[in-house]
Amino acid sequence: MTYIRPQFRHPALPKNDLGYTSKEYEGALSTLCAGCGHDSISGSIIQACYELSIAPHRIAKLSGIGCSSKTPTYFLGNSHGFNSVHGRMPSVATGANMANRDLVYLGVSGDGDTASIGMGQFVHAIRRNLNMLYIVMNNGCYGLTKGQDSATADEGSKSKAGSVNPFQPIDLAGLALELGATFVAQSFSGDKEQLVPLIKEGLSHNGFAFINVISPCVTFNNNPGSTKSYDYVREHLEASPAPDFVPTKKEIKTRYASGTGTDIRMHDGTSIRLEKMAHDRNPYSRLEAMNALQNSRNKNEILTGLLFVQPVSDDLHQTIQSSDKPLNSLGKDVLCPGSSTLATINADLR
């Protein structure tokens, strides 16, 4: 399989304040399944960074392991990227951020990467209010290992192997709110109109910004009650081993006004209900956000939009009072106390 992205771009492609077109923000061609929600999110990231006129090389994109963590290859090709180990992106991002406070840090993770193996690092990045945007591409399953339930899978949903998930899901947005994240949003991969502004806000936020993006897995999202899910079909094809089938589908897209709900039909025929937060809701109240999120969950709805923001807070650098200059820019003249100081230290040790 060879993917060749055409180099041609329309000569009249608009440029941002830095004189870059959106092309300078693109990455390699995606190798994810056609129709994957993650690719839509990559598109939104490209658009957000382009519109914000961030110099591509001033962004560091980091990820863990999984389908979602592959995406940094597919956006911001002129940015340095770091595909680390499973669930450990937050620690790598923390170290990177400590080394250079002047770059923009974009972390991309998945529900397995964040809500299971990486839970410890995720919560501690929030606790430290690390200055970064942390996006979870949340599809409720482990795509790369063929669809096992993740910790965000809904109770009662069926895995590809047919087992019913008996555990309640971890609500990452609720958790982030509870832990004191200073920016919490939730969105849907197909809702660019909402997602692009949220990414722009998250990138511009000083402190830890979290966006939980529901991103359907076209290959493995099988919910109970769906008569058109791949699992359902396979259950009715007895004695015939089901081959892995990756359908080519169009992305699910939606547009709707804020304050109104909309049902999104998933690839397998089920639907999820998204509720946009109304403009009159107070985004500065953590308590209201937690209540609203809980109310939506009780109604089996997913509340989207900016749930909470605390515009002014101390990030990790401010908390530990580290230098205003990036630490990686300091030379030996600043860092090394020199031989005369060492002589004094020696004298004190005699």
Partner 1 sequence: MPNSKINNFVVRFANVNGTGSASANHLFAKAIFRMGIPVTPKNIFPSNIQGLPTWYEVRVSEKGYQGRREGIDLMVCVNPQSMPKDVMSVASGGYFIYDSTKTLHPELIREDINYIGVPLMEICLREFTDPRQRQLFKNIIYVGALAALLNIEFQVLEQLLSEQFKGKEKLIVPNVKSLKLGMDYIKENYTCPLEMRLERRDLIGDKILIDGNAACGLGAVYGGATVVAWYPITPSTSVVEAFESYAEELRIDPETGKKNFAIVQAEDELAAMGMVIGANWNGARSFTATSGPGLSLMQEFLGLAYFAEIPSVLIDVQRSGPSTGMPTRTQQSDIILAAYASHGDTKQVLLFPSDPKDCFDMTAESFDIAELLQTPVIMLTDLDLGMNDHMSEPFEWDDTKPYNRGKVLNAQQLEDMPRFGRYLDVDGDGIPYRTIPGTHPTKGSFFTRGTSRDEYAAYTEDGAVYARNMDRLTKKWNTAKNIVPAPFFYQEKNTSTNGLIFFGTSTNSAEEAMDLMLEKNELVDAMRLKAFPFPKSVDDFINSHEKIFVIEQNRDGQMRTLLINELGINPQKLISILNYDGMPITAHAIVAGINNNLSVAKTLTYQ
Interface ranges with partner 1 (CB under 8 A) = 24, 55-58, 60, 62, 72-73, 77-85, 88, 90-100, 102-103, 120-121, 124, 128, 316-317, 320-324, 327-328, 330-332, 334-339, 341-342, 345-346, 349-350
Report angle CA 43, 180, 175 to the nearest 5 degrees. Answer: 65
Instruction: Give the shortest CB-270-to-partner 1 separation in angstroms.
Output: 34
As measured in angstroms, the least distance from the Cβ of 114 to partner 1 is: 14
Closer Cβ to partner 1, 95 or 166, answer by number = 95
The nearer residue to partner 1, 35 or 87, going by C-beta atoms, is: 87
- Show the tokens assigned to 247: 């359908």
Q: Which amino acid is at 159?
A: S
Question: CA–CA separation, 54 vs 90, rounded Å?
Answer: 22
Strand-pair category, 104-110 with 59-63: parallel
CB nearer to partner 1: give 291 or 341: 341
* Nearest approach, Cβ of residue 69 and partner 1 (Å): 10
Whole-number Å distance between alpha carbons of 186 and 170: 14
Contacts of 19 by beta carbon, 8 Å cutoff, 6+ apart: none
DSSP for residue 327: G
At 231, give phi and psi (nearest 5°). Answer: -60, -45
From the list 157, 209, 203, 194, the residue with the least C-alpha distance to 275 is 194
**59 or 293: whose CB is closer to partner 1?**
59
Comparing CB distances to partner 1, the nearer of 224 and 326 is 326
Token pair in block for residue 24: 């300078």
Nearer to partner 1 (CB atom), residue 100 or residue 258: 100
Query: Shortest gap between Cβ of 27 and partner 1 (angstroms)?
Result: 9
Cβ at position 58, least distance to partner 1 in Å: 6
The least CB distance from residue 72 to partner 1, in Å, is: 7
Question: Shortest Cβ distance from residue 47 to partner 1 (Å)?
Answer: 20
- The residues, ordered by sequence, that sit 6+ positions from 142 with a Cβ below 8 Å of its Cβ are 66, 112, 148, 149, 150
Residue among 79 and 152 whose Cβ is closer to partner 1? 79
- DSSP per residue over 160-216, as a string? TTS-B--SPPP-HHHHHHHHT-SEEEEEETT-HHHHHHHHHHHHH-SSEEEEEEE--
Choose between 80 and 281: whose C-beta lies nearer to partner 1.
80
Task: Give me the least distance between CB of 172 and partner 1, in Å please.
Answer: 18
